[in-house]
Chains A and B, each alone.
Chain A
C-alpha cells in the first residue's frame, strides 16, 4: 500500500473540484473494495477524496419512482420499506451479495464502481490489461472458470461482480452524475462498458465525474420477479451466473419482460431483443428457452468456463419460471424453487 494524501470535501461541487485538481485521486466512501485494492497495490492513488460527508444519504420519492443517494449504504437500500415493497428485486439482489458487514459499509455509488474479481487483476505478479494496459491478459488460457462468456475481447475476459447493478439494469435505473461540465443522467445499461481494446475503463463516467444518485423508475415489478444467483457456495461468493428477471403478466401471457444477467460479462448483460421476443408470448418454458437461446447465441467459452453457457441458459429459464410463479430465490437461506 502506498502513501496518500487525504481530503474531505463537504459538497458535491467541492468533490468534483478536488478530483479535477488531481485526476489520479480516488473517491472513497465505504472503501470495501478500494482499500483491498490498495493493500494489493492494484490501486495506488496519491490522494483519497473522502466523500462520506456529502449530502447524498437520502432515499426520496422522485418522478413516481425513488431516488437513491449515492452514499446510501447497501444495507439501508435493501431494508428500506419502500424498496422492499416496491422494488423487491433490488432488495433481493443486494442481499444476495457480500456479507452483512460489507453491506453496512458499502455505498450505492461504490457498488456500481467496484472492480472485477478476476484473479489476475488482483495479482500484480501476473499480466493484466485492465490493471496495466499492454501487459496482456493472464486469464485467457489460465484459471478462468469464473470469467466472461459474453462481450469479452481478446484483451480482457473479466466480469463485473455487482449483484445490485444487475437488478438495476433490469429495472432500467438511471445513474445521476455530476462533473466539471455539469450534471447528466446515464441509463444503467450504458453506465458500464465492454472491455474492447480499453479494458482499463470499466464505465462510461467521464473524467472528473461523480455519481450523486441512482433513480428507480415508476415501473417496479413488485409481484413477478426473482434474483437467482448461482455460485460455488451458497452464500458469500460472486456469481458464476445470476439472473434478474421481472415480468408483468396478463393471465398466462407476458406483457412486459425484463432480464439482466450477472457474472457473464464485463457489465450487467441485457438483451432487449430477447425481452421483446418474450412480450406477448405465453409464459411457458418453451418461450423462456427461446429467449435463452437468443441471449446466448453469441456466447463464447474460455478454456475452463464452457459450463457457464449451459448454466446461464438454464438459469434464464429458471429465473423466468420463478418470476412468473412469484417464487423468487430466498436470500435468507438461499433456497431455490
Chain B
C-alpha cells in the first residue's frame, strides 16, 4: 500500500494544480459533439409519441394520417414493432434494480404517464415531428396511484436487493427503549419533493448502420459499456457488431446511467429499416423516465441533557415503479454519521404508477442526510447545544453500521475551517435573534457524507516515438473533469508536458471501464491510467538502461525520475536521457500497456471509506412576504487528495447550487388524479438561476487516504449532500419556524410549515 503519488516515476507537477479543462476549447468552440449531433449518410429522424395516460391500455392507434405524410418512413407501434429478446434479463443493464425493465412498445399496457407509444420515423426531423402530432391513440384509462404518502401503507422490504446498494444494517442496542428513557427527545417527519435531473442536454441517441452491417451508436450515457451490453442483449447481437461512443455528456447527474428508451427506439428503427436513425427527446419527455422519488421519512432522536445521543431511529418509505424495485441508501447514513448505542434504521419501498426512479446526484444521501441533519438541528435547540458542538459531541471515528474504522475522516477539521471562514462564532443561538432591515437573518449548518468507492477498471496507454502519449478507457467524462485529471496523472507519471498527452474516453473500442457515477471515476480510472503509464515507464527505463553508454547503466528503476520528457537519475540530474532518444536509439515505434485497477481488498477488509463535508449557510428572509434568499454558503470538504483544485471546486459549486435548488426550488408536481407531472418544462420546474446563487466558498481540508495509490476519494456527489439541511436549519434560525417539507417556498414560510 502506497500513499505517495507514483514515487518511482514522475514528480507531482500537474497533479494538485488548477489545470484548466483540456476539453474546454472543444466545448466552447462547438467542436465537442454530443450524442444527438453526429451525422450519418441518409440519417432518418425518429420522434416519440408519448402516452396521455398513466395507467391502463392502448385501445387503438390510428397512424394512417401520419403515414400519409410525404417523407414519413414508418410509424412503429406495439402492433408492428419487430421482435427483440423475450428475456427480461436481457434488458437489465449494469445498474438496473431488481425487476423487469421497461421495454418501449412491448405491448398495449400503459404503466406510466409519458410512456412512449409510437415512434414516427421520417426523412427529416420536422416531418417526423409533424407526423407524430397526427397519430391518434385511444386509451382505456385506469386510476393511477402516484402519491407516495397515500401508498406508504403498502410499503414493503424489497425481497431482492439492488446490486451495490447496502440495505439498512441490523439494529443495534434498544432504540425504542432508549428513546423512551431519554431526557431529551425530538421526533419529526421529513418530506421532500420529486425531482428531475434535467441536464442541459436532452437524452438522444444516433444509431449509425455501417456498410458491413455493424452498428455505431452515439448515446447519451454515462458509460458506453452499459449501452453496448444492453443493445447486444436486447437485440441479440454479437459484442463486436456494436460500437458505442459518447465522448461528451451535456450533464447527466445520474439520468444517463441507464440506457433509456430513446436508445432502444433508435436501435429498433435502425435495425428494422436498415438505415441510420436518430431519436432526441423533447424537454417535456425528460419527465418520462427516471427521477429522484420522494421518501417519507421519520427520525426520532433521544439524548441526555448534554446532547449525547442515546437513541436514533430513522425510517423511510420511498416510491418505486410497478415493474422494478428501485432502491437507494437513504437511512444508513444516520448510523454512519453519529456515535450512538441504540440505533434502528428501516427502509421500505412502495409501488407507484410512475417510471422507475433512478440515481440522481448523491442518490439516497441527499434524501436521508436532509432528514437526519435537520433532526440533529432540532436536537441542538432542544438540548441548548451549538449545532457544531452537538455534532462534535456525537462524533464517531468508526462506521458503526459495519464496526469498522474509517480509512480517513477529517470532518473535525472541516467543521473548524468551515466555521472559521463563515464566522460561525458570532452567531446568536436564539431563533429570530438576527435581523437586517426588514429581513430576518438565519445561520444554519449541516454535515454531508458520501461513500468513497472504487470500481474495477482498466486503462490503456500508448507512448509514440515522438514522445506523445495517448491514454484512455471506456468511462465517460460527465462534465466532472475526467479528461483533465487523467491527462494530469498520465503527464506526471511519465514526466511529460500536458500538451504531449491525449486522453480518449467514452468509446467501447477503448479499455474496459464502468459507467461514471457514484464519485468513483477519479479513483478507478485514475489509478488504472497511473498504472498503465507506470508500466510504460518501466518499459522505457529498461530500454534506456540497455542503450550503449547509457547514463542509466547500473541504476535501479526506483532511482529513476521521469521529468520534462526525460528519464534522469534521482539526485544526479546530469545523468539523463530523453524519452524520444530512447525510442529512436532502440528503434522502438511505440510502447503500449494496459493496466487493471481494482479496490484494495486488504484496505476494504480493515476500513470503511467515506467523504465528509461541513456546510454553513446564511439565509435572509422577508418574513412578511415569505421570500427566502440564500446569501452565503461555505462548504468545507474532506475528500482525500484533490487532483485539480479548479475542476474540484467546480464540482462542489455545482453540488451546492443543486442543493440550494433542492432546498428552495425544485419540485416536480404530480396531478395524482391523472398520475402526471404537470410542470414538465424548465419555465415551471424551477432550478436556481443566477439571482438565487450567492457567493459560495469552497474549502478542501487536507485528508490523507490510503484506499488507492492516488489518495483520492471522489468529489461528484459530496458537494450536494447536506446543503438542503443547512439551508432549512438556517431558515429555522431566522424564523423560529421548522419547515419539514422541501422545497421551502413562499407558501410554506407564510403557512404552517
Contacts and interface: CB of A to CB of B under 8 A. Distances in A.
Contact of A230 (B50, B674, B746): B746
A323 B629 CA distance: 22
A191 interface: no
B165 interface: no
A181 interface: no
Interface string A299-324: 00000000100110011001000000
Contacts of A123: 284, 676, 678, 680
B691 interface: yes
B622 interface: yes
Given A1-B129, A235-B692, A126 B625 contact: no
Contact of B689 (A141, A146, A234, A337): A234
B216 interface: no
A141 B678 CA distance: 13
Interface stretch (A9-17, A53-61, A114-122): A114-122
B625 A232 contact: no
A233 B665 contact: yes
A142 B676 CA distance: 10
B673 interface: yes
Given A1-B126, A117-B683, A123-B680, A143 B690 contact: no
Interface in A34-74: 39-41, 44
A234 B689 CA distance: 8
B130 A233 contact: no
Contacts of A146: 684
A337 B436 CA distance: 11
B103 interface: no
Nearest to A119: B678
Contact of A126 (B665, B674, B745, B750): B674
Contacts of A3: 130
A236 interface: yes
A11 B130 CA distance: 31
B678 A307 contact: no
B349 interface: no
A75 B742 CA distance: 35
B678 A233 contact: no
A131 to B, nearest CB: 14
Interface residues of B, number: 44
A230 B628 CA distance: 11
A141 B746 contact: no
B696 to A, nearest CB: 16
A185 interface: no
A138 B692 contact: no
B650 interface: no
Contacts of B627: 230, 234, 336
B669 A235 contact: no
Interface in B432-449: 437-438
A262 to B, nearest CB: 15
A2 B665 CA distance: 34
A235 B689 contact: yes
A143 B669 contact: yes
Given A1-B130, A311-B625, A315-B625, A143 B671 contact: yes
A201 interface: no
B671 A138 contact: yes
B679 interface: yes
Interface in B662-703: 664-665, 669-671, 673-674, 676, 678-681, 683-684, 686, 688-692
Contacts of A233: 664-665, 686, 688-689, 691-692
A138 B683 CA distance: 19
Contact of A333 (B52, B129, B691): B691
Nearest to A304: B747
A145 interface: yes
Contact of A314 (B51, B284, B625, B690): B625
A311 B627 CA distance: 10
A83 interface: no
A194 interface: no
B56 interface: no
Contacts of A125: 50-53, 113, 676
A333 B620 CA distance: 14
Contacts of B130: 1-3
Interface string B739-753: 000000111001100
Interface string A223-239: 00000001011111110
B684 A235 contact: no
A82 B577 CA distance: 74
B170 interface: no
A232 B686 contact: yes
B485 to A, nearest CB: 33
Contacts of A333: 691
Nearest to A3: B130
B673 A141 contact: yes
Most buried by B among A234, A240, A311: A234
Interface in B200-225: none
Given A234-B689, A307-B747, A337-B437, A126 B676 contact: yes
Contacts of A307: 746-747, 750-751
Most buried by B among A117, A138, A232, A235: A232
Contacts of A315: 625
Given A126-B676, A235-B691, A1 B669 contact: no
Interface in B342-374: none
Interface in A247-266: none
A195 B745 CA distance: 28
B464 interface: no
A40 B671 CA distance: 19
B678 A143 contact: yes
B624 interface: yes
Contact of B684 (A2, A117, A124, A141): A117
B163 interface: no
Contacts of B625: 230, 311, 314-315, 318, 336
Interface in B634-684: 664-665, 669-671, 673-674, 676, 678-681, 683-684
A236 B682 CA distance: 10
A44 B625 CA distance: 40
Nearest to B688: A233
B746 A119 contact: no
Given A141-B673, A235-B690, A336-B625, A311 B746 contact: yes
A316 B488 CA distance: 58
A2 B747 CA distance: 39
A334 interface: yes
Nearest to A161: B683
A138 B671 CA distance: 9
B626 interface: yes
B581 to A, nearest CB: 56
B133 interface: yes
Nearest to B137: A125
A311 B689 contact: no
Contacts of A235: 689-692
B752 to A, nearest CB: 10
A120 B671 CA distance: 10
Contacts of A237: 683, 686
A138 B622 CA distance: 33
B622 A336 contact: yes
A333 to B, nearest CB: 7
Given A232-B686, A234-B691, A311 B626 contact: yes
A205 B673 CA distance: 36
Contact of A143 (B622, B626, B679, B688): B679
Contacts of B671: 126, 138, 142-143
B105 to A, nearest CB: 18
A230 B625 CA distance: 8
Given A125-B676, A126-B674, A234-B627, 6 more contacts: A1-B129, A119-B669, A122-B681, A230-B625, A232-B745, A233-B692
5 contacts: A2-B130, A125-B50, A232-B665, A311-B626, A315-B625
Identify the 6 closest CB pairs spanning chains A and B, nearest first. Answer: A125-B52, A235-B691, A307-B747, A234-B691, A119-B678, A143-B678
